Amino acid sequence: MLTQSERNLSAGKVIEYLLRARKAVRLYPDRSPVTEKAVDDLYQGIMRLLSVQDRIAFEIRQDSILFEIEEIFRSDSAENDMAHFLFRDGLREISFRKGLTIDEVLGLVHVLSIDFVSEFAVEDVVTRIWEKNFSHIRCIIYEPGLFDPIESRDSLQSFPLDAAGLSDELKRVYRNAVARRDEICTLTDTIEFTDEELLSLRRDVDNNRIDRTGKVLAIALELLLLAKTEDFGPLEAGMKQAVEYALARRKLDVLADFFIRVKAAYMDGTRDSDFSRSLQHIFSFFSSEKFLIKVGSALDEGVRLDEDTFEKFTRLLDGSSVPGLIRLLGYLDTIAARKTVMNLLAAIGSADLPALTAALHDGRWYVVRNIVIVLRRIGDRQAKKHLLSILDHKDGRVRREAIKAMAQLGGNEAFDLIRNALDDPDISVRQFALGSLSRLEAVLAKRLLLEKVTDRAFRDRDYAEKREFYCALLSYEDADVVRLLGNMLLKKTFFKRAANEESRAAIAHCAGMHKNSAFLPFLRMIEYRGSEFLQHSVSEAIRKIEHEY
Partner 1 sequence: MNTEHKETAPSGGDFGVRDRVMGLYDNIASLIADMPRRFASGEDIKMKRLRRLVQYAIDMVEDDEPLLLGMALNNNRHQYADRHPVNVCILSVKLGHRLGLSKNELAELGQVALLYDICLPFVPAEVLEKKGAYSDEDWRAMEQHTIQGFRTLFGLKNVDEMLMRAAIVAFEHHLRYDLSGYPQAQHLPSQDFYTRIVAIAEWYDALASSRAYAEGGRSPDYAVKTLLEQSGTELDPVLVKVFVSMMGVYPVGSLVVLDSGEIGIVMQPHGVLIKRPRVIVISDEVKPFVADLSKRGDDGQYLRTVKKTLDPNEYRIDYSSYFFGRPRRYGENN
Could you say whether residue 153 binds partner 1 (CB under 8 A)? yes
Position among 54, 76, 119, 182 found at the interface with partner 1 (CB under 8 A): 182
Residue 197 binding partner 1, by CB under 8 A: yes
175 binds partner 1 (CB under 8 A): no
Angstrom distance (rounded) from CA 73 to CA 43: 18
Assess 213 for contact with partner 1 (CB under 8 A).
yes
CA 218, CA 492: separation in Å to the nearest integer?
80
Separation between Cα atoms, residue 128 and residue 125, nearest integer Å: 5
Nearest partner of 267 among 283, 251, 254, judged by Cα = 283
User: Whole-number minimum distance, CB 179 to partner 1, in Å?
Assistant: 10
H-run or E-run covering 64: strand 64-67
Distance between CA 219 and CA 160 in Å, rounded? 47
Q: How far is the CB of 104 from partner 1 (least distance, A)?
A: 10
Q: How far is the CB of 260 from partner 1 (least distance, A)?
A: 12
Q: Quick check: 205 binds partner 1 (CB under 8 A)?
A: yes
- For the chain, the straight-line distance linking the first and the last C-alpha, in angstroms and rounded, comes to 85
User: Interface with partner 1 includes 207 (CB under 8 A)?
Assistant: yes
**Count of alpha carbons within 13 Å of 182, Cβ hemisphere only?**
3
Give the interface segment with partner 1, choosing from 216-224, 409-417, 421-429, 492-500 (CB under 8 A).
216-224
Q: Which positions from 66 through 105 interact with partner 1, judged by CB under 8 A?
A: 90, 92-93
Q: Distance (Å, rounded) from C-alpha 209 to C-alpha 34?
A: 32
**Judged by CB under 8 A, which of 2, 50, 57, 126 binds partner 1?**
126
Q: Closest separation between CB of residue 65 and partner 1, Å?
A: 17
**Residue from 219, 293, 358, 391 that binds partner 1 (CB under 8 A)?**
219
Q: Which is nearer to partner 1, 128 or 376 (CB)?
A: 128
**Region 225-284 residues binding partner 1, contact defined as CB under 8 A:** 225-226, 234, 238, 241-242, 245, 261
Q: Single out the residue of 32, 62, 101, 200 in contact with partner 1 (rule: CB under 8 A).
A: 200
If binding is defined by CB under 8 A, does position 184 make contact with partner 1?
A: yes
Q: Which of residues 130-149 bind partner 1 (CB under 8 A)?
A: 130-135, 137-149
Q: Are strands 64-67 and 137-141 parallel, antiparallel or unpaired?
A: unpaired
DSSP state of 79: T
Q: What is the CB neighbour count within 10 angstroms for residue 22?
A: 23
Element (H, E) at 367: helix 365-378
470 in Cβ contact with 506 (< 8 Å): yes
Q: Are 126 and 141 in contact (CB under 8 A)?
A: yes
Nearest to 545 by CA among 524, 521, 514, 522: 514
Of 76 and 119, nearer to partner 1 (C-beta) is: 119
Q: CB of residue 315 vs partner 1: minimum separation in angstroms? A: 18
Query: According to CB under 8 A, which one of 27, 78, 117, 150 is a site residue for partner 1?
Result: 150
Among 127, 382, 420, 438, binds partner 1 (CB under 8 A): 127
Task: Pick from 74, 215, 483, 492 the residue near partner 1 by CB under 8 A.
Answer: 215
| Euclidean distance between CA atoms 38 and 25, whole angstroms | 9
Q: Does 388 interact with partner 1 (rule: CB under 8 A)?
A: no
Q: Which stretch binds partner 1 (CB under 8 A): 217-225, 268-276, 308-316, 474-482?
A: 217-225
Near partner 1 by CB under 8 A, which window of 163-171, 279-287, 367-375, 492-500?
Answer: 163-171
Total chain residues near partner 1 (CB under 8 A)? 86
Which residues contact residue 25 at a Cβ distance below 8 angstroms, ignoring those fewer than 6 apart? 35, 38, 39, 106, 109, 110, 113
Asked if residue 193 binds partner 1 (CB under 8 A), the reply is yes
- Residues 337 and 366 sit within 8 Å (Cβ to Cβ): no
Q: Is 259 exposed, middle or buried (0-12, 13-18, 19+ CB in 10 A)?
A: buried
* Residue 158 lies near partner 1 (rule: CB under 8 A): yes
Footprint of partner 1 on residues 471-500 (CB under 8 A)?
Answer: none
